[in-house]
DNA sequence: CGTCTTTGACCGGCGC
DNA sequence: GCGCCGGTCAAAGACG
């Protein structure tokens, strides 16, 4: 029961820095192209590992996986989730200077619940040229903006499920403060407003 | 024409 | 040491 919330936040980055993709590929010097499409060489400094980016998990009751949060996301991967018939989608902010990533997966217990995990913070304002939601503008670069947008986009009637989620959050003391005032002073953990949107702390509680 | 989604393959880390 | 899993990339295709 509560596992749906805890496991959603118990994740951690795995394969991060990948080295040369095509390094293992044979040299293409003056050779036929009969072989299958091989991966091109992609020099990437492996030492560039991000220390730790803040992560936030949101359990939203929505029918669509892709939640409009005011930013433009590009889907770069999809993987099947174990113990869950629903796949997990990986999105990345289309802004070049913004490395915010988002993982979207449905709860295996409640298909109506979409678990959205944000990793990192937007270094820019939400683009005003949002397709279908140009009226949405984030007041600040912090998550407060998108948080408010979520409230606007997912403001629905309370449901028993919401109570369940809220109760689940109570099980984890850390979940009570998903938004530290030091980081998101404009978005207090006011669960009263979050009716269908129940944020869960995703911060690495391992240390 | 530009942008985005889809899909397969690959890599790194971790567990056993 | 090997195998498994999760995460990411890149190319092609589809769509507006």
For every residue of A109-142, DSSP letters joined together read: S-TTEEEEEEES--SSPPPS--TT-TT---SSSS
CA–CA dist A137, A70 (Å, integer): 7
Q: Which residue has the tokens 């220390």?
A: A51
Residue A116 lies inside a defined structural domain of this protein: yes
Q: Is the CB of A72 under 7 A from strand B?
A: yes
CA–CA dist A107, A103 (Å, integer): 13
Domain count, chain A: 1
Length of chain A (residues):
207
Q: Which domain holds residue A100?
A: 55-125
Confidence class for position A52, pLDDT limits 50, 70, 90: low
**And the tokens for A86?**
């629903």
DSSP state of A192: T
pLDDT the model gives residue A80: 86
Find which nucleotide's C1' atom is closest to A40's CA.
C10
Residue A95 lies inside a defined structural domain of this protein: yes
Q: Is the CB of A24 under 7 A from strand B?
A: yes
Secondary structure class of A2 (helix, strand, coil) = coil
Give the burial class of A59: count Cβ atoms within 10 A of its Cβ; 0-12 exposed, 13-18 middle, 19 or more buried.
buried
A60, A184, A188, A130: CA torsion to nearest 10:
-40
- Kindly report the pTM of this predicted structure: 0.63
- In terms of Cα–Cα distance, which of A78, A79, A62, A167 is closest to A113? A62
Residue A41 lies inside a defined structural domain of this protein: no
Residue A64 lies inside a defined structural domain of this protein: yes
Residue A142 lies inside a defined structural domain of this protein: no
Q: Is the CB of A88 under 7 A from strand C?
A: yes
Q: What is the CATH number of the domain that holds A115?
A: 2.20.25.80
pLDDT digits (tens, 9 = 90+) for A61-99: 766 667 666 788 899 999 988 777 888 999 988 877 777
Residue A71 lies inside a defined structural domain of this protein: yes
Confidence class for position A116, pLDDT limits 50, 70, 90: confident
Angle (CA) A55-A188-A132 rounded to 5° is 70
Find which nucleotide's C1' atom is closest to A46's CA.
B12
**Strand B, CB < 7 A, residues 43-62 of A:** 46
Residue A13 lies inside a defined structural domain of this protein: no
Out of A55-59, A88-92, A153-157, A169-173, give the one with best mean pLDDT.
A88-92
Stronger pLDDT, A66 or A164, i.e. the higher one: A66
**pLDDT at residue A121 greater than cutoff 80:** no
Residue A199 lies inside a defined structural domain of this protein: no
pLDDT digits (tens, 9 = 90+) for A136-150: 444 444 444 444 444
């Amino acid at each position: 029961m509560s596992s749906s919330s805890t496991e959603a936040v118990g994740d951690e980055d795995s394969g991060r820095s990948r080295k040369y993709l095509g390094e293992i590929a044979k040299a293409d010097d003056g050779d036929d192209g009969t072989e299958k499409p091989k991966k091109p060489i992609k020099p990437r400094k492996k030492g560039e590992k991000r220390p730790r980016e803040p992560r936030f998990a949101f359990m939203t009751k929505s029918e669509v996986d892709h939640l409009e949060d005011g930013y433009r996301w590009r889907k770069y991967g999809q993987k099947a989730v174990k113990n869950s018939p629903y796949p997990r989608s990986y999105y990345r902010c289309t802004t070049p200077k913004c490395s915010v990533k988002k993982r979207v997966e449905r709860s295996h217990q409640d298909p109506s619940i979409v678990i959205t995990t944000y990793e990192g913070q937007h270094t820019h304002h939400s683009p005003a040229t949002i397709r279908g939601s140009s009226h949405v503008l984030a007041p600040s670069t912090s998550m407060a903006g998108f948080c408010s947008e979520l409230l606007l986009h997912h403001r629905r009637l309370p449901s028993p499920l919401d109570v369940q989620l809220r109760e689940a959050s109570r099980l984890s003391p850390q979940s009570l403060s998903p938004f530290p005032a030091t980081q998101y002073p404009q978005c207090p953990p006011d669960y009263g407003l979050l009716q269908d949107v129940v944020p869960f702390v995703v911060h690495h509680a391992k240390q």
